[in-house]
Structure 1
Amino acid sequence: MATQYVAAPPAAGPPQGDEKPLKDHVSSKVAAQTILRKIDEDETFFSWKIIQTIIAAGGGFMVDAYDLFVIGLLTKLIGRIYYPDALQYAPSDLPNRSNYALASVALIGTLVGQLTFGHLADLFGRKPVHIVTMVIISIAALCSGMSFGTTGDAVVGTLCMWRFLLGLGIGGIYPLSATVMSETASTKYRGTYISAVFAFQGFGFLLAGTVVIILAAIWMPYPDAGDFLWRTAFALASVPPCITLYYRMIIPETERYEVNVKGDIQTAAKQLGIDNDPTIIKATGLKAKGHTWRSFLDLYGLPLMGCAFSWFLLDIAFYSQGLFQSDVFSIVGWLPAAYTMNAIEETYRIARAQLIISLASIIPGYWFTVATIEIMGRTKIQYMGFFFMTLFMGILAGLYDQLKGEVSNFIALYALTFFFSNWGPNSTTYVLPAEVFPSWFRATAHGICAATGKAGAIVGSYGFGILKDTPKHNAGLKTVLIVLTIVNALGLLTTIPIPETKGKTLEELGREGEDMSSMHTEESQDEPSSAQNVSHTSPFKSTDPNGKVTSNHLKVSSFILDAWAIRDIITSVTQVTS
């Protein structure tokens, strides 16, 4: 489908009757379409460029998963080392204030990083901002292992500072890696490549479990060496981003950003090796006209809310389960009581249990998504995942008293919730925001969706902790399972406003050639609207018979105040799902 562009005027304009501006406009538009077609129609499955991009984009996710895996293990170890006076009936626990701080401070940093670096990537480009985030991750991970202090609170406080910075860098990885991969990939394999980047989380889980088990086995004969164990485990998280930083530095800016945002046709063509094409040689620059937050929200308000709140609900479930897996294992009797083991032995046993869950369910789920996303489509996988997560979590909650004595059945059902999380919304909530939105707001919008998800992770972390610490410990876990069943069911509803992106180019989905601000008469009185030239329509706006945009029934600013908009929302949702 043809994409509309606006040619940049020459520095010194010719007389009004000269035809050169029109010729420049046409040649620039054709050149841009040539570049984008070159990307979209590439039939090569795994080129060296794609492999480099996946490695560069996926390295940060290894650290994200690594950190999520080890923090639940190492907080218990830190508690036994630095808070001996608190070791009464639960020797594996930190004081609540310290435990919740360590569990949530990286999530808060991630939320801030997603919002900040996502927006910066749209302003200054994907490559420079991506490099900055990788450097932050490398430094913060290394320094986390060097968090010293004279008291337990001092050590935890220093560690919290570095974990916040680590989260800040990891937060930037979310919108940047997804955006870079989506803008580099062809239409045919885009979903496969983006989900493959996200699947690097699986490698992070595997690496973390292996590292902790090896370190614990080495120091098992030396019970007092726990301090070396947790510091080494944290510091080793700096290795993956250091390796992938090299690939990020040699990969150029994405061609789509060069064309759609910077308007630099020549640079994009040179990167693709088509700068000698006659249409490229004749082309001038391009510029996009008047893209405002208001026009963006008018067109994409509902998809943005659908993507964001689906991620919010998913992360409530995913992070609460991940951060407190060891408590689940203890409650169902899969681990012996903490007081029967020394600190390093407990760390070893918990790491082994979590690694089994990862290998059996979490890691396969990622790659099931990679294998099926271009066959099933994104939204179908998301619906399927939320449905089965609701089903299995509901069984665990409804039959809790019976299943808690049947360890194998309980763990199997618990593992299935992780499997369908990853072959489901945990992957698709990352993929969809990288495709639905236009180039000018793609990283920003992805950052907003990801940050909303991290808000859900914070809610899940604190909420799970509060519920499980009720006087009746087992009753607390049952309550959590009931709540998570409801949360997963709500995810089915938040998926409704999200359009399917399979088989569509990013320019079709983002309507890159539209002058979005022309929808607002007060913003376009001085120039003719380009909306009349758009060759495709959207379920999120209406046009008159001549193709001119007349109103936007899904304006976020309007439907909040207009009761009649409820009818329009239902109509549009029906169009999306049909």
Structure 2
Amino acid sequence: MYAWSLLWFGIGVGGEYPMTSITAMEGVHGQPRWGQLVNQVVLILALLTFHSGGSPPYGEVATQYTFRISFAFIAIFLLFLIYIRVFKLKNANQSFNASRKRGRVTGYDVTSLRLVMGHYWHRLFATSLCWFCNDFPFYGNQIFRNVFLQLVTGGNSSEVTTLWLYNLVNVGCELVGYYLAALLIDHKLYGRKRMQAVGFLMNFVLFIIAAAIFPKLDTMGAGAHGFEFIYFFSSFWIQFGPNSTTFLVAGEVYPSPVRATAHGLFAAVGKCGALTATVLYNYIGSRTKFWVVCWFGLIGFCLAVVFIPDTTGLDLREQERYWLFVREGRQDEYHGIAIHPRHLSLFEKVILKRGRNYDPELDQKAKIEELRSLYDRVNSEKGTELGEETGESIDEKVSTYFDWEKTKEVHTI
């Protein structure tokens, strides 16, 4: 039953997860979620209620009620989210559908997928491996928490409430990191790329320190408190770093026709990291776990610095505009902000030299011509809603300008 539940969870959430991130990027914003924290609180309160305390042994009635109530509680929110997704986010795939129509694609966009494999292979490589490198320490952090608990409790605790209370503190640290990430992820002086790189680097530093001085940390008193700090601080940097950026970057750096496909692929690669950690940690010692996990932080840092572009402040519509040029085989004619050096990776700037065609003056002229073409198309298709076909519309001021320009031409003649 557990295996089947994972299968259906992957099909359902695995498909919706990237679409949710796309919806967020297209401007549909939700409320902050405290899911992990609330879940832990519900578990603790339910056990205290039905067991009259946290000390073992735990009876069948207490464990069954705790288990079932925690699932019933979250089911209420799941039903509410289903209602929101079905009835309130009907236009969640608007950008995707509009892009397909602009590219005259009626089915799955195989052409765009092939182009992405060739044009953005380096981004595919980096975003997938960065997700792998993130999930390895992220889920590893959950797996070796037993090592942490043995150190801070002296191996004498058999109460699940002790585990849950420490986990509650850990989730609190993650929550602080997550909110700080939300605060700075769009800031021009920090943004996505720096956040991801610094988060990976800090995890490398913290875990390699833990590995190097593990004998000193593996003692009660000051050593255990030092381990406590490293454990909680690493959780903070995972959230204020790659766990808040990998899924977002993996959606933003690709065109909408294949964005969900690419996102799902990278999520699968990331889960391979979680699976690898889960299996590997059963066969290696406590200190070796830290020697292993630290290097994934360093690998993730190097990948982020070299291959990950910085999409902070970049309008996704401009990304789509650039992709139209690529799709039509005339990418050298694009001069817009999507190839500005600050939005390209180090590899794209130095090796591929994709920023060489950036020219704001030529781009401004090209945009005027594109708007004029769109304006003419609107006038020639009187009975058709242009927005339904392309997802684009003409601003009233722009339309007024072209009306005036046309009138001026008539008077000149």
TM-score (norm 1): 0.53
Deviations 1:432-465 (A, max 9, x none): 1221111111111111121111111111111122
Counterpart of 1:432 in 2: which secondary structure?
helix
* Conserved 8 A contact 1:215-1:229: yes
Matched, 1:390 2:204: yes
Matched, 1:497 2:307: yes
Deviations 1:37-65 (A, max 9, x none): xxxxxxxxxxxxxxxxxxxxxxxxxxxxx
* Conserved 8 A contact 2:185-2:191: yes
Counterpart of 2:283 in 1: which secondary structure?
helix
Paired position in structure 2 for 1:252: 90
1:568 positional shift: 9.0
Matched, 1:370 2:161: no
* Conserved 8 A contact 1:296-1:516: no
Deviations 1:313-365 (A, max 9, x none): 1101101212442x123321327536xx4xxxx22221111001111x11101
In structure 2, do the counterparts of structure 1 residues 238 and 324 end up closer, same or farther at CA, with 3 Å as the change threshold? farther
1:416 positional shift: 0.8
1:377 positional shift: 1.3
Paired position in structure 2 for 1:508: 318
Instruction: Return 5+ residue gaps in structure 2 as ranges.
Output: 53-57, 357-413
* Conserved 8 A contact 1:329-1:335: no
1:537 positional shift: 8.5
Paired position in structure 2 for 1:432: 249
In structure 2, do the counterparts of structure 1 residues 503 and 333 end up closer, same or farther at CA, with 3 Å as the change threshold? closer
Matched, 1:310 2:124: no
**What is the aligned counterpart of 1:177 among 20, 33, 38?**
20
Paired position in structure 2 for 1:380: 194
Determine what percentage of the aligned residue pairs are the same residue.
23
Paired position in structure 1 for 2:147: 328
Task: Write the distance in 2 (CA, Å) between the matches of 1:364 and 1:459.
Answer: 28
Report matched runs for 1:73-472 at 5 Å.
158-184=1-27, 200=33, 203-221=34-52, 223-225=59-61, 226-249=63-86, 250-254=88-92, 255-263=94-102, 287=104, 291-325=111-145, 327-334=146-153, 336-337=155-156, 341=158, 346-359=159-172, 361-375=173-187, 376-405=190-219, 406-467=223-284
1:570 positional shift: 6.2
Counterpart of 1:503 in 2: which secondary structure?
coil
* Conserved 8 A contact 2:322-2:331: no
**What is the aligned counterpart of 1:488 among 297, 303, 321?**
297
Counterpart of 1:315 in 2: which secondary structure?
helix
Select the structure that is richer in helix: 2
Counterpart of 2:282 in 1: which secondary structure?
helix
* Conserved 8 A contact 2:135-2:270: yes
* Conserved 8 A contact 2:112-2:257: no
Task: Write the distance in 1 (CA, Å) between the matches of 2:300 and 2:23.
Answer: 27
Task: Write the distance in 1 (CA, Å) between the matches of 2:295 and 2:140.
Answer: 14
Task: Write the distance in 2 (CA, Å) between the matches of 1:335 and 1:170.
Answer: 39
Task: Write the distance in 2 (CA, Å) between the matches of 1:161 and 1:433.
Answer: 28
In structure 2, do the counterparts of structure 1 residues 573 and 357 end up closer, same or farther at CA, with 3 Å as the change threshold? farther
* Conserved 8 A contact 1:313-1:490: yes
In structure 2, do the counterparts of structure 1 residues 574 and 323 end up closer, same or farther at CA, with 3 Å as the change threshold? farther
In structure 2, do the counterparts of structure 1 residues 532 and 484 end up closer, same or farther at CA, with 3 Å as the change threshold? closer
1:575 positional shift: 7.1
* Conserved 8 A contact 1:389-1:417: yes
In structure 2, do the counterparts of structure 1 residues 237 and 169 end up closer, same or farther at CA, with 3 Å as the change threshold? farther
Paired position in structure 2 for 1:29: none
- Paired residue type of 2:147: V
Alignment RMSD (CA, Å)? 3.0
* Conserved 8 A contact 1:377-1:502: yes
In structure 2, do the counterparts of structure 1 residues 290 and 515 end up closer, same or farther at CA, with 3 Å as the change threshold? farther
Task: Write the distance in 2 (CA, Å) between the matches of 1:363 and 1:412.
Answer: 16
Paired position in structure 2 for 1:572: 352
Task: Write the distance in 2 (CA, Å) between the matches of 1:498 and 1:568.
Answer: 9
Task: Write the distance in 2 (CA, Å) between the matches of 1:301 and 1:575.
Answer: 17
* Conserved 8 A contact 2:325-2:334: no
- Paired residue type of 2:37: L
Deviations 1:364-395 (A, max 9, x none): 01001000111111101111101111111111
- Paired residue type of 2:40: G
* Conserved 8 A contact 1:385-1:425: yes
In structure 2, do the counterparts of structure 1 residues 213 and 538 end up closer, same or farther at CA, with 3 Å as the change threshold? closer
* Conserved 8 A contact 2:134-2:300: yes
* Conserved 8 A contact 1:292-1:517: yes
1:534 positional shift: 3.2
Runs of 4+ in 1 over 4 A off after TM superposition: 530-533, 537-540, 567-570, 573-576
Deviations 1:267-295 (A, max 9, x none): xxxxxxxxxxxxxxxxxxx7369833221
Task: Write the distance in 1 (CA, Å) between the matches of 2:13 and 2:67.
Answer: 20
Task: Write the distance in 2 (CA, Å) between the matches of 1:246 and 1:452.
Answer: 30
* Conserved 8 A contact 2:349-2:355: no
* Conserved 8 A contact 1:389-1:420: yes
Deviations 1:114-147 (A, max 9, x none): xxxxxxxxxxxxxxxxxxxxxxxxxxxxxxxxxx
Paired position in structure 2 for 1:133: none
Counterpart of 2:309 in 1: which secondary structure?
coil
Task: Write the distance in 2 (CA, Å) between the matches of 1:531 and 1:420.
Answer: 38
Paired position in structure 1 for 2:394: none
* Conserved 8 A contact 2:133-2:297: yes
* Conserved 8 A contact 1:315-1:454: yes
In structure 2, do the counterparts of structure 1 residues 256 and 569 end up closer, same or farther at CA, with 3 Å as the change threshold? closer
Deviations 1:529-552 (A, max 9, x none): x55653449779xxxxxxxxxxxx
1:490 positional shift: 0.8
Counterpart of 2:111 in 1: which secondary structure?
coil
Task: Write the distance in 2 (CA, Å) between the matches of 1:487 and 1:451.
Answer: 17
Task: Write the distance in 2 (CA, Å) between the matches of 1:477 and 1:570.
Answer: 42
